[in-house]
Amino acid sequence: MTVKLPRTAVEPAILLPPRAVPLCTWITVLFGGVLQQIGWFFLGFGMIFFYVFGLEADLSGLWMRLMDTRQATGLVTSVEDTNASENESPVYAIHYRYVAANGTTVDETAYSTGYYPDAGQRVTVEYLRSNPEVSRVEGMRRTTFGPAAIFVVIFPLVGAALAFFGLVEGIRASHLLRIGRLAFGKLTSTAGTNTTINNRQVMAMTLSFRAHDGATYDMTSRTNQPENLDDQAEELILYDPDDPTRGAALDALPGKLQIDQSGTIRLGRPIACLTTLIVPGLTILGHGLYLFFRFVA
């Protein structure tokens, strides 16, 4: 049940900070922001494309130009289809053998798109002088896809950026749960932004409130659910007593927060504690396990 606060700058002593915050409430506010959830989703799915394409992007043309290399004549030993394609053309794996200047015989694999040499055909091989086993065939690649495939890294980078900035917002909001003082704010202006989340425009909604020092401050909350902040004549606000310009409207925070008679801020939807962790949890656990079994185990 939400506490009825008096319309004064001083809230009842039972509501004064610092206050204990239930773990589920803290988790929901920390991770439950819409921006952060979208970020974790983009990061999770973007990393899948990075594993499939980005890690197989051939960047050897760049770094081998900077290294001391030698050339040798190689012999194609076999060719096989990789079941991958690039620009709708099949990618082939060309297995070849060559002898380095130090007498080392090396068996390696190159990749080409849309064409392949016959087994027994000779090819020109470029290899590192310091490590003859690192090589590439002239006109071919060392990995499945060309360098353009590295651009799939954009998707997980965008997701990571959204998750990071969303987490920063979550940290600030969860900190307010413990140290924030309460006040009533009145909506004074609403302005559209250039951001859209879930096909809904994010609105910048400014509320005016009186803090404990008797001064009036403005606090702007950005949300894609403006109906949560204009459904009442006054909205509860949590603000930093050391800097009243930093605050958040209670109804703009995740979990439909409520204040009970003991002054504890609780979740209006307890299930939010679980649902909030699904996307970031699956992202961290899933990719953590994949990286462990691919590079460690």
Helix (H, G, I), strand (E, B) or coil at 4: coil
23 lies in some domain: yes
Q: Which residues pair with 121 in a beta bridge?
A: none
Dist. CA 20–CA 15, nearest whole Å: 11
58 lies in some domain: no
Quote the pTM value: 0.81
276 lies in some domain: yes
The 10s digit of each residue's pLDDT in 284-295 is: 999 999 999 988
Local confidence band at 20 (pLDDT 50, 70, 90 cut-offs): confident
Helix (H, G, I), strand (E, B) or coil at 185: strand
- Of the residues 142, 157, 190, which one is the last residue of a structural domain? 142
Q: E strand or H helix at 111, and its extent?
A: strand 105-113
Same domain, 192 and 267: yes
Same domain, 123 and 268: no
Same domain, 102 and 191: no
Query: In CATH, what number is assigned to the domain containing residue 136?
Result: 2.40.50
3-state helix, strand, coil in the chain (%, to 5): 35, 35, 30
Dist. CA 170–CA 30, nearest whole Å: 4
Same domain, 185 and 268: yes
Domain count, the chain: 2
- What is the model's pLDDT at position 18? 86
For the chain, the residue count is: 297
Same domain, 214 and 122: no
User: In the numeric block, which tokens belong to residue 176?
Assistant: 């307010």
User: In the numeric block, which tokens belong to residue 203?
Assistant: 């609105």
List Cα–Cα distances, 9 to 182, 211, 213, in angstroms.
9, 6, 8
Same domain, 75 and 26: no
- pLDDT of residue 5 exceeding 50, the answer is no
- What is the model's pLDDT at position 11? 60
Q: How far is CA 177 from the centre of its chain?
A: 25
Task: Find the domain containing 84 and state its range.
Answer: 66-142
250 lies in some domain: yes
120 lies in some domain: yes
Q: How far is CA 81 from the centre of its chain?
A: 35
Same domain, 178 and 102: no
131 lies in some domain: yes
The 10s digit of each residue's pLDDT in 48-93 is: 999 999 999 999 888 888 899 999 999 999 999 999 998 889 999 9
